[in-house]
Amino acid sequence: MKIAFVDGTIITGDRKVIEHGTVIVEGNRITKVGENGSMIPSDARMIPLEGRTLLPGFIDCHVHLCTDGSPDPLRVMLSEPQTITALKAANFAKQTLMGGITTVRDLGGKDGIDLGIKQAIQSGLIQGPRMLVSAQMICMTGGHGWQFGREANGPDEVRKAAREQIKKGADIVKFMATGGVLTPSVEPGSEQLTEEELRAGIEEAHKAGKKTATHAMGTKGILNALRAGIDSIEHGVYLNEEAAAMMAERHIPFIPTLSALFNIEIKGIESGIPPFAVEKTIKVKPHHLQSIRIAKEKGVIIAMGTDAGTPFNLHGENLGELKLLVGQGFTPLEAIESGTRIAAGVLGLDHELGTIEEGKLADLIVVEGNPLEDIGVLLDKKAITLIMQDGKLVKGA
C-alpha cells in the first residue's frame, strides 16, 4: 500500500524544513521526499497535512519501562509481584508509543521483563516502541542501582557480568560508573566501578559487537568511563571541560536526562518522593545545568533521553525533554534533532531511522501546528494526530 502525506511542513530531523512538502511511503519505507505534489502516485492513499507538521518518529535514548514514575518507583518495583511489573511495563510501552516515541533504549530492567516486553512488541502481541535493551545494569556491590542490578567486583567479575547480559539477549551493556540520586546512602558524584573494571566490561561488549552506556554523574567516574572506551555518557552531572573536550574529539554522545532532576525538584518531598532523593537533586542540579552548557560550547553530541520511570517522569510524556533542552539554549530545531537524527546515531540505527529520507523506515508522526514556533505542542497528546511505525498507522488510521 502507498501512502502520500501531502502539503504540510516537513521537519526532516537533520535541521532541514520543507514547506508545503510531500512524503511518499510504500510498504514500510519512505520512497520520495520533496516539495512537488505532482510526484504522488495515482494509486496512493492521500493524507492531507493542511497546516500540520510531519516529523520523524522520536527516539528516547534512556528509559526504564519497569519503573512506574511514582514518587518512590524503586520501592514500588521491588515490592510488587513480577507479573504486575510486567503488565505495567506493557502499558507503559503503549503509552510511550502514543506519545510519539517510536524507538527507545531501555537502560535497566528487572528479572528479564525488558527483554520480554521487547519480544512481545516484535511479535505484535502488544503495541510499543521499537526497543533496544540492556537487561541488568552492572554495578559494584552496594553501588547505585544494586537493588536490581548485577553486582560485580574486579575486572574479571565485571567481564563475566557483561557476558551474562549478552547471553540473555542484551542489545547494549550498561555500567554504573558513579553513585546516583535514587539509591540511599550513595553520593551522586562518587566514583564506583573503576577504570579497570569498566574497561574489562566494555571490551567484552565490544567483542560481541554491542554498544555500551554508563550512568556517570561524578567527574572522575565520567573520565574513567571515557578512558575505558564507553560509547555514551548518561546524566553527566559533573561533566567538566576536560571530559567534554574528550567527548567532542572522540564523538562520544552525552544524554543529559534533564527530565529526571526537574521532575524531582518540582514535585518535592511533599509529593512523597524520598527526602534523600530531593536533597541530592537540589544539590546537583546547578552542576548539571553547567555541564550541559559546557558540553554544548565544546561541540559534544547531545541526544534526547529522559530517564522515564523516575519520580513523576512519566512514560508517554517523554517529549517534555525537548522543552527542557530549549530552556537550556537549544533552538527548537536543535532539540528536535537531538531526539531524531542524533538519537538514532547513539543507538546505531541512523542508517534506518532518525530522518525523513528516501530509503529509510517509515517512522513518522503528524502534529497539529508547528513545533518550531511552539515546542510545547509536542507535549499535547491530542496534538499528535497520527503515528506511523515501520510503515503501519498505529494512531490516526
**What is the pTM for the complete model shown?**
0.97
Segment (H or E) for 388: strand 384-389
Residue 124: all three cell numbers together: 505484535
3-state secondary structure of 164: helix
Q: What is the pLDDT of residue 311?
A: 97
The answer, yes or no, to whether residue 349 has pLDDT greater than 70, is: yes
State pLDDT tens for residues 205-237. Answer: 999 999 999 999 999 999 999 999 999 999 999
Q: By the 8 A CB rule, do 178 and 166 touch?
A: no
For the chain, what is the mean pLDDT? 96
How many angstroms separate the CA atoms of 365 and 40, rounded? 19
Contact 122, 228 (CB under 8 A): no
Spatial distance between the Cα atoms of 157 and 193, rounded to a whole number of angstroms: 11
pLDDT bin (cut points 50, 70, 90) of residue 35 is: confident
Least confident of 35-39, 130-134, 245-249: 35-39
Cβ contacts of 146 within 8 Å, gap of 6 or more: 139, 140, 183
Q: Which residues contact 347 (CB under 8 A, 6 or more apart)?
A: 59, 61, 103, 105, 132, 211, 353
**Tens digits of per-residue pLDDT, 105-133?**
999 999 999 999 999 999 999 999 999 99
What pLDDT is stored for residue 40 in this prediction? 86
**Given this model, what pLDDT does residue 108 score?**
96
Q: Which residues contact residue 268 at a Cβ distance below 8 angstroms, ignoring those fewer than 6 apart?
A: 278
Q: How confident is the model at residue 185 (pLDDT cuts 50, 70, 90)?
A: confident
- For residue 380, CA distances in Å to 200, 262, 319, 374 come to 44, 19, 9, 11
Q: What are the angstrom distances between the C-alpha of 392 and each of 10, 47, 85, 217, 356?
A: 19, 14, 28, 39, 15
Average pLDDT over residues 6-32: 95
User: Cα separation of 91 and 87, whole Å?
Assistant: 6
Which pLDDT belongs to residue 39? 79
- Distance in angstroms (rounded) separating the CA atoms of residues 95 and 61: 16
Higher pLDDT, 397 or 310: 310
- Concatenating the DSSP letter of every residue in 119-167 gives HHHHHTSS---EEEE--SPEE-TT-TTTTTSEE--SHHHHHHHHHHHHH
- In the numeric block, which cell numbers belong to residue 339? 531526539
**Phi, psi at 11, each rounded to 5°:** -100, 110
pLDDT tens, residue by residue, 286-304: 999 999 999 999 999 999 9
Task: Kindly report the three-state secondary structure assignment for every residue of 344-368.
Answer: HHHCCCCCCCCCCCCCCECCEEEEE
pLDDT at residue 48 is higher than 70: yes
Q: Which residue has the higher pLDDT, 36 or 78?
A: 78
Count of helix runs (H) and strand runs (E) in the chain: 12, 17
Count of Cβ atoms closer than 10 Å to residue 287 Cβ:
18
List the domains of the chain with CATH numbers.
Answer: 2-56+355-395 (2.30.40.10), 58-318 (3.20.20.140)
Model pLDDT for residues 127-172, shown as the tens digit of each residue: 999 999 999 999 999 999 999 999 999 999 999 999 999 999 999 9
Task: Give the pLDDT confidence score for residue 178 in this predicted structure.
Answer: 97
244 contacts 293 by C-beta, under 8 angstroms:
no
Report whether pLDDT(321) > 80.
Answer: yes
pLDDT tops 80 at residue 36: no
Contact at 8 Å (CB) between 99 and 127?
A: no
pLDDT of residue 38: 67
By percentage, how much of the chain surpasses pLDDT 70?
99
C-alpha separations of 264 from 60, 159, 268 in Å: 19, 34, 6
